[in-house]
Amino acid sequence: MDCGAFAERLPGLFPAGDVYAETPVDRRFAGVVERVDGMSTEHSLTLLNLAASLLGPDETYLEVGSYRGRSLVGAALGQSHDRFLAIENFREFGLDPARSEQLLRDALRDWDVADRVTFRRGDAFRLIPRRVGPRPVGVYFYDGAHSRLAQYLALGLVEPLLADEALVVIDDASWPQVARATGAYLARHPGYRLLFDLRAERAEDPRWCNGVAVYQWRRPAGHRAGPGLDLAWRRLAHLYLHEPAMTLAWQVLPRYPRLSAALKKLYLHGGSEVPAAGPPA
C-alpha cells in the first residue's frame, strides 16, 4: 500500500483541499448514503474508495463491521479489482443476522459490486487469527464493536496480517473510549504513524460522523509476528465472557429500554460522546 500517495491525494478530493468541506468534489457517493442504511458519510466513502484504489496488486481490503453494506459499497464502487473482504456478525443492536446479511448482499448487488466482495458472517476475533485470506491486508477499516476490549483486539489481531506497509482506518475515533483503547495499543506496539485525525464537530457529524483516524503502518525491523500476552488474555475475555454476555443482553434488553440504556453506557464505558472541541481549524 502506498500510504504516501494516499496522504497526498486525499485532500485533493475536497474543495480547496479542505477535508472539512461541506461535500467532496465527487458526489457519486451521495446516492449510496441516501439508499443504503448506515452511518458512513460521503466523506468517509471518498476516503475508503481512494484507499482501496491504491492497494498493491497482491493486497486485500479488509473491513470489520459492515452493518448494511454502505461503507463496503463505497469502497468497492468503480474499482477494477475484486480483493475486498468483509466480516460482520450482526449481533449488536438486536439485529436479525439472517435478515441483515440479506440486506447487505442486496446492497452489494444493487450497486453492482457483489462480484468484488467476499463476505463472511461471524465473530472477527474468531476468524482473524486463522488468517482471512491468502494475501496480506493493505487497507484495514475497523467499524466493529467499540468497547475498549474489542477496540484493542481489533488492532492487535489484524497486525500480523498487514502488509509491510498498510493503511489502518478507525471509525468512531472521536469517541473517548475508542481513542483511549487505540492509544493504549499504540503505546505498546510500534510501527504506526497518524496520517489524518478527522475529528467530528458533534455526534453524527455530516462530514466525518463520529470521527475517523487514519494510520500508516510500517512493519518494524525484527517485528515479532503473533499476539502477545496483552492480546491473548483480552481475546479469551472477549470470546468467553464479554461476547456471550453481550449477545444475551442484545436479545433480552430491548424489551427494557431503561435497563438497555444503562447497559449501553456500561458497555461503552460512558465514552461514546463526541467532545465539544470539534475539528481543528
Each domain of the chain, given as residue ranges in start order, spans 3-267
Q: In whole angstroms, how far apart are CA 140 and each of 61, 137, 143, 207? A: 6, 7, 10, 21
Among residues 54, 73, 52, the alpha carbon closest in space to that of 62 is found at 52
Lowest mean pLDDT: which of 19-28, 75-84, 107-116, 224-233? 224-233
Q: What whole-number distance in Å separates Cα of residue 188 and Cα of residue 183?
A: 9
pLDDT at 259: 60
Q: What whole-number distance in Å separates Cα of residue 4 and Cα of residue 27?
A: 24
pLDDT at 157: 92
Q: What whole-number distance in Å separates Cα of residue 174 and Cα of residue 279?
A: 10
The CATH label, of 3.90.660.10, 3.30.70.260, 3.40.50.720, 3.40.50.150, for the domain at 3-267 is: 3.40.50.150
Enclosing H/E stretch for 66: none
Higher pLDDT, 117 or 132: 117
pLDDT at 253: 63
Q: What whole-number distance in Å separates Cα of residue 159 and Cα of residue 227?
A: 9
Q: What whole-number distance in Å separates Cα of residue 184 and Cα of residue 203?
A: 23
Q: What is the pTM of this model?
A: 0.90
The answer, yes or no, to whether residue 272 has pLDDT greater than 80, is: no
